[in-house]
Amino acid sequence: MSSVKRIGLPVVGQDGPDDAPDCRGADGRRHWRSLEEWSEGAAAAKAEFPRGAAFLPEALTRRGFLQMLGASAALAGVAACRPPRQEIHAYVRHPEQALFPGNPVPYATALARHGHAVGLLVTTVDGRPIKVEGNPDHPESLGASGRLEQATILDLYDPRRIEGFTARKQPKAYRTLLRELATVAATHEKDGGARLRFLTGATGSPLLLDLRRRISERFPRARFHAYESLTEEATADGARLAFGRALDTRLHLDGARIVLALDADFLSDGPSALRLAREFAAHRTPGPDMSRLYVAEAHLSTTGAAADHRFRMKPSEVLGFARQVAAALASSQGLGDLARIAGDAKPTREASAVAEDLARHRGASLVIAGPRQPAAVHAIAHAMNAALGNAGKTVDYAAPPTEEPAGPRQLAALAKDLAAGAVETLVITAWNPVYTAPADVDLEALLTKVPDVLYLAYRPDETSARATWVIGESHPFETWGDARAHDGTVSIVQPLVQPLLESISEVELLAAFLGEAEKGAYQLVQDFWRARSGAGAAFAARWGTWLAKGVVEGTAAKGEAPTVRFADVAGAAGQPPPKAEGLEASFVVDKLDDGRFAENAWLLELPDPITTISWDNAAMVSPRTAQELGVETGTRVELRLRGRKVDAPVFVAPGHADGVVTLPLGWGREAAGPTATNVGFDAGALRGSQAAWIEPGLALAPFGKRKHKLVQTQEHFSMEGRDLALSFDARAWEEEGPKRLEHLRGAVNAMYSPFGYDKQAFKWGMGIDLAKCTGCNGCVVACQAENNIAVVGKAQVARSREMHWLRVDRYFSGPPENPEVVSQPLMCVHCEAAPCEYVCPVNATVHSDEGLNEMVYNRCVGTRYCSNNCPYKVRRFNFLEYQKGKAPLEKLRMNPDVTVRYRGVMEKCTYCVQRIERARIAVRASGQNKIPDGELQTACQQACPSQAIVFGNLADPESRVSKMHQDERRYDLLHFLGTRPRTAYLVRIRNPNPALSA
């Protein structure tokens, strides 16, 4: 273990004091590097690379310059990736493996967004983190990871990252910075911090909250303001309304058979999306415990696409619908508590059917309200869940880490102080508040009134341009800390690498205000947890387990089921909102989150799960509204809302509610890097602080003749009557479903007798269950990260040259107003009789004896004949040198096990052959010849939150993939061609309510 430590070269950033006295190696001897060190101990050693050594000395002589030049040349080779200096613990595998060059070692850590953590395993090779996976032991990951988690690794190696620290335009060395921060802090001590303010993001981190508490003790009059543009104020208010106190709502879909989602995209958004997708998918196969999902929403979300019934309505109409369901529950299902809440609402046929279904499954149903909905909807949902007996079963409640939710309200309080000139020092650790602030809070102007704006920034952005101190922020994979999941489970965040560029974390910045920054984040987090769980020898062991496992056991908050104050809920929900004129503006979160992923090229290029738009966002309207307004896809329009205006392209979206314009947030950055500046439009510029998500009175006026080019990776959404992505209603499936698949599977006539594979230990294959796939696109990013897949840019995507090996095809059926959606992940299906293989003139694509269709990049001359002959069109060609011009930092991210393809070469899914070989080597080295089922996962499979993708050995009849291939829902894509694909699909089953489908 201490040998890990020995690898660590003296580095910037995070030397913990605990490290200083101990210079012992693995052999227990004390090593020294110079006579001074030998004589003076570690103190001299620490000074060997003093802080600020990277900066030019002020008075530079010719001689000095030449000395530095020589030294730089001599030490140039030293610059490399370094594992962190402190002891970090690998997940499951022995850390000694980390010492073998080229060995990938997973480390558990956690990534928090908006105060909610997801546990991750980050694979590190030679000190470079290269791939993110979910931590199976973490309750909110369960081994899965989403597109944002996957894409985080790209940000780590962003060449636009801020290096070092600037205070009032002067570069500062680390120690100088800490000294000056301490001075700033000291000046506030005399008035108790009356002129000191902190603007932070939402956090659940116990350490950060403790630091805040201690800062508040030192500066009693200082204030912390938490702001998140994707605010959950309404959620918190709803709980307060229903229960009289702040409570987090925790959903459990495991026991829920009937789910009603009120404008809640719980499968792709929110702190528990990964877990909920897993739990949801577990009950989507035909059988007695198959669940039924009702969704009421305006724009077609991934959850709406997964629904059995989707009720299309304006976001403002959701409250009315909730009241109708409550009314139906009260009147015909005998839930009298809800009668007052429902008021005078008359249930429609839909609401009655939903209510009946919910009531039939008391204690096994669930009503979910989305964070965009007002507090009343949340309160009604709590009331219905309580009345249905769901509370404590499919939903429970626990105290949140902070009483007051982060959002515009807290920002407004700060803005008032700023406007009054009452703030001298503002410390911003929230992400880019100048960009994310509501349009009616002119933070940009307000910041000019503050003499000292300290901004912890990852990249130069809108806020850093206005900050007087710009402090480089470490990536979450570079820092020590802790993070809290939505259910309360705490993870210790351990760094995977020393900061690649000189930077500090939020923990260290806050510690500087306590004069403890010198301790370093490692010491701070360890001290905090030692204090919490008791010191002593046992702590070291516990600490090691926490790090290795990625979770601090026993920290999950206990759930409760408090009583609902029906009277209060009725008071708030009784009156329906007044009808408003004009269009309704509906702000939504998409793949860029609140904009913090706007510079992530993977996510920019990633097609939207429903519209497949890449490199853009658009104002989405329904086909009918588009017709009424005289606009079509690509028309540029001016959107006006309460005197604020923004220009945007229109996208006519199927399944969209009429009279609503959906505006995805996080785009249209002004001061981002070249990849993200002016990409899309900034919907946030229309957003007020009062109505953060839904606001009526939007005006839309087309202008200009020229259309905006919106590029889509899929332009045709109809299956043209072909048997491609199949779905059945549960009843139709019971009756005749399997029979209708007979012609889509089974043996095909072939001239040559097929290769037997009898003597092969392995015969690889895959199964994809369309019933489980929610179409979240997480697998696409996972594949991109694992396989070094190039990003090609908007112009190339417009030419249909995107490189994604794995794409999620989307097909609509039924009326365009409210279509049914089927998502079909498609990558190379590794045909047994592969059409690509026989047409390649140079044998560059060949079949392996384990059934893989292999692509030999070295041999490929690029005739592209294979792609022409591929019926699935899953092959991707390097039309240009897409991997050219990478900054040295970016190159570090590449997976060393996967060739980076040159231009002129064809590429495609390999079934993650590098992982197969790794697993084979590991198994052989341990003297076995069988890879246990489930041990080997492809990148897409590992990421998939709903476990729709299964990969494994078809030669083993007991493997999960073999069973999937035997499933009665199995069919082959384009079976009639006789290609005999190794990827089998399982048809999607819908479970519509017979009362509604009749």
Residue 487 or 809 having the CB closest to another protein: 809
751 makes contact with another protein (CB under 8 A):
no
Question: Applying CB under 8 A, which of residues 877, 911, 951, 985 lies at the interface with another protein?
Answer: 877
- How far apart (Å, rounded) are the C-alpha atoms in residues 722 and 729? 18
Binders of another protein among 889-928, rule CB under 8 A? 902-906
Question: Applying CB under 8 A, which of residues 810, 965, 980, 988 lies at the interface with another protein?
Answer: 810
963 makes contact with another protein (CB under 8 A):
no
Q: How many residues are there in the chain?
A: 998
- How far apart (Å, rounded) are the C-alpha atoms in residues 913 and 931? 14
813 makes contact with another protein (CB under 8 A):
no
* Distance, C-alpha 96 to centroid of its chain: 31
Nearest residue to 139 (alpha-carbon basis) of 325, 15, 274, 334: 274
Residue 883 or 895 having the CB closest to another protein: 883
Q: Among 93-101, 200-208, 870-878, 930-938, which window interacts with another protein (CB under 8 A)?
A: 870-878
Least separation in angstroms between residue 848's CB and another protein is 16
Question: Applying CB under 8 A, which of residues 8, 515, 871, 992 lies at the interface with another protein?
Answer: 871
- How far apart (Å, rounded) are the C-alpha atoms in residues 203 and 888? 33
Degrees (nearest 5) of the Cα angle 228, 253, 944?
A: 75
Q: How many CB atoms sit inside 10 A of residue 294's CB? A: 25
Q: By the 8 A CB rule, do 655 and 304 touch? A: yes
- How far apart (Å, rounded) are the C-alpha atoms in residues 456 and 736? 61
Residue 571 or 835 having the CB closest to another protein: 835
- How far apart (Å, rounded) are the C-alpha atoms in residues 948 and 932? 20
- How far apart (Å, rounded) are the C-alpha atoms in residues 132 and 782? 8
- How far apart (Å, rounded) are the C-alpha atoms in residues 532 and 580? 53
Question: Applying CB under 8 A, which of residues 974, 975, 992, 993 lies at the interface with another protein?
Answer: 974
Q: Among 93-101, 285-293, 383-391, 794-802, which window interacts with another protein (CB under 8 A)?
A: 794-802
Question: Applying CB under 8 A, which of residues 3, 67, 97, 868 lies at the interface with another protein?
Answer: 868
574 makes contact with another protein (CB under 8 A):
no
Binders of another protein among 685-714, rule CB under 8 A? 714
Exposed (0-12), middle (13-18) or buried (19+): which is 465, by Cβ within 10 Å? middle
Alpha-carbon separation of residue 202 from 16, 149, 212, 275, 483 (angstroms):
27, 18, 12, 21, 11
Alpha-carbon separation of residue 830 from 827, 835, 912, 981 (angstroms):
9, 10, 12, 6
816 makes contact with another protein (CB under 8 A):
no
Residue 32 or 865 having the CB closest to another protein: 865
188 makes contact with another protein (CB under 8 A):
no
848 makes contact with another protein (CB under 8 A):
no
- How far apart (Å, rounded) are the C-alpha atoms in residues 479 and 522? 8
Question: Applying CB under 8 A, which of residues 363, 623, 835, 992 lies at the interface with another protein?
Answer: 835
Q: By the 8 A CB rule, do 822 and 768 touch? A: no
Residue 623 or 871 having the CB closest to another protein: 871
Residue 329 or 710 having the CB closest to another protein: 710
Q: Specify the pairing of strand 425-428 against strand 196-200.
A: parallel
830 makes contact with another protein (CB under 8 A):
no
Q: By the 8 A CB rule, do 847 and 764 touch? A: no
- How far apart (Å, rounded) are the C-alpha atoms in residues 248 and 398? 5
Residue 399 or 719 having the CB closest to another protein: 719
Residue 393 or 876 having the CB closest to another protein: 876
Here the tokens at position 566 are: 């029906």
Residue 688 or 835 having the CB closest to another protein: 835
What percent of the residues of the chain are helix, what percent strand, and what percent coil, each to the nearest 5?
30, 20, 50
838 makes contact with another protein (CB under 8 A):
yes
Question: Applying CB under 8 A, which of residues 293, 335, 840, 949 lies at the interface with another protein?
Answer: 840
Least separation in angstroms between residue 868's CB and another protein is 5
988 makes contact with another protein (CB under 8 A):
no
Residue 348 or 899 having the CB closest to another protein: 899
Q: Among 227-235, 380-388, 614-622, 796-804, which window interacts with another protein (CB under 8 A)?
A: 796-804
Alpha-carbon separation of residue 818 from 118, 124, 723 (angstroms):
34, 45, 21
Least separation in angstroms between residue 827's CB and another protein is 12
Here the tokens at position 244 are: 């009289």
Question: Applying CB under 8 A, which of residues 507, 660, 776, 860 lies at the interface with another protein?
Answer: 860
Using CB under 8 A, count the residues that bind another protein: 54
Q: By the 8 A CB rule, do 117 and 110 touch? A: yes
Q: By the 8 A CB rule, do 234 and 375 touch? A: yes
- How far apart (Å, rounded) are the C-alpha atoms in residues 223 and 195? 9
Q: Among 358-366, 442-450, 774-782, 854-862, which window interacts with another protein (CB under 8 A)?
A: 854-862
Question: Applying CB under 8 A, which of residues 630, 674, 721, 756 lies at the interface with another protein?
Answer: 721
717 makes contact with another protein (CB under 8 A):
yes
Question: Applying CB under 8 A, which of residues 283, 292, 687, 807 lies at the interface with another protein?
Answer: 807
Residue 39 or 858 having the CB closest to another protein: 858
Least separation in angstroms between residue 621's CB and another protein is 24
Alpha-carbon separation of residue 69 from 56, 65, 72 (angstroms):
11, 6, 5
Nearest residue to 163 (alpha-carbon basis) of 454, 474, 405: 474
Binding-site ranges for another protein (CB under 8 A): 714-722, 724, 796, 799-801, 807, 809-811, 824, 826, 835, 838-843, 859-865, 867-869, 871-873, 875-881, 902-906, 974, 977
